[in-house]
Amino acid sequence: MIATDRDPLPTTTTIPQGVPEHIGLLEIGTHLLRHWKRAILMPVTSAALAVAASLLITDQYSAVARFVPEQGPDRASGLGPLASIAAQFALAGSGSNSPRFYGEVLRGHTILDEVLLSRFPTPGAPQVGDSSALWELLRIEGDSIQEILASGRKELEKRIGVSVDDATGVTAVSVQTSDASLSAGVANALVSLLNRFNLETRQTTAKLRRAFVEARLDELSGELHDSERALRDFLLANRGFETSPDLRLQHDRLERDFTLKQEVFTTLQRQFEEARIQEVNDTPVITIVDYAVAPFESSYPPRLLVAAIGFALGSLVALLSSIVGDVVASKRRDGDQRYTAFLDAWTSIRSQIRQLIRVRPH
């Protein structure tokens, strides 16, 4: 066969020595074995530097308190008197699973402001019994108490977490600070304030309902007395009303009005007694499953994870540098023009940098 000018010329691709066409696990292992010192020192050094950097970060301790809302016939969705509030904001869940609602209550101004103004033992105080307000312990700054509370609320929202176990309905409140005892104290204070807030809301609601029912009972008592007297006067004036269709209709209307008012009065009396009981009822509306205790180990930063990430990054850098080093060495042995041009450019840049460093301002 005779080759023509249109026939493609055979070409060959030369792969530098020591550089495989496809890099697989075997080739990666080969590169790491060639530079075994680098493969060991770089990951270990990277992990050590990562851990050392994490030591500069203040340890944070997380304490958790767990509770279950009280279940009862008058506790819709396990929220008691607050269920109506939760329903307005579409926060009521099924049963006692209402983490969003309790999260919103715990993050409300009422509870956060009160816990910020509450006093807790001062960590590292020279005397036992020394205490400071939470906003002082968290080092919240401001020109006025209003600014301090506003900044404190934002800071607490970052440190407070609320979660729920859908299977058991247990709600967990976690608090993270730089002191283990302080984290436990704040978590327990939040649960206590939440219970008191719910309890006071229940009692306030019962008080308002009792006042309304009492006023309605007074009005209905007079109406019932008037209806009873009207029916009695009719019977006294019309002893033989059964023989007259008109009188019988009038009697039935008076009797029906009296019976209806009597039933309403009886219902209101029952509600009045229930409201009086609820008004003075101080039974806790949540059951605390676990009080928060001071943790022994910090929750942040996760130094094992930091060390693992540092080791992985160091291993990656060691591998890439080994491969690049082998490629550069191969091109240098082969006298590749591209390597020569790169080396000349690098030498020129280094020379210019030295000249800039040597220049002294007049």
Other Cβ atoms within 10 Å of 68 Cβ, number? 17
| 17: in domain | no
User: Do 84 and 154 share a structural domain?
Assistant: yes
Domain range for 351: 25-57+305-356
Please report the pLDDT score of residue 89 as a whole number.
44
Reported as a single tens digit per residue, the pLDDT across 67-95 is 887 655 444 444 444 545 444 444 444 43
Please report the pLDDT score of residue 75 as a whole number.
45
Reported as a single tens digit per residue, the pLDDT across 147-182 is 999 999 999 989 998 888 878 878 889 999 999 999
Three-state SS at 337:
helix
Last residue of a domain, one of 290, 320, 347: 290
User: Do 143 and 93 share a structural domain?
Assistant: yes
| 250: in domain | yes
User: Do 88 and 232 share a structural domain?
Assistant: yes
Distance CA 316, CA 329 (A): 20
Last residue of a domain, one of 290, 317, 337: 290
> Which one is predicted more confidently, 345 or 126?
345
User: Do 208 and 83 share a structural domain?
Assistant: yes
For the chain, what is the mean pLDDT? 78
Q: How many domains does the chain have?
A: 2
Please report the pLDDT score of residue 11 as a whole number.
46
User: Do 149 and 32 share a structural domain?
Assistant: no
Confidence of residue 211 (pLDDT cuts 50, 70, 90): confident
> What's the burial of 236, exposed, middle or buried (CB within 10 Å: 0-12/13-18/19+)?
exposed
User: Do 326 and 280 share a structural domain?
Assistant: no
> Which one is predicted more confidently, 133 or 40?
133
Confidence of residue 99 (pLDDT cuts 50, 70, 90): low
User: Do 282 and 213 share a structural domain?
Assistant: yes
User: Do 225 and 327 share a structural domain?
Assistant: no
| 42: in domain | yes
The string of DSSP codes covering 143-204 is SSHHHHHHHHHHHHHHHEEEEE-TTT--EEEEEEESSHHHHHHHHHHHHHHHHHHHHHHHHH
Please report the pLDDT score of residue 148 as a whole number.
92
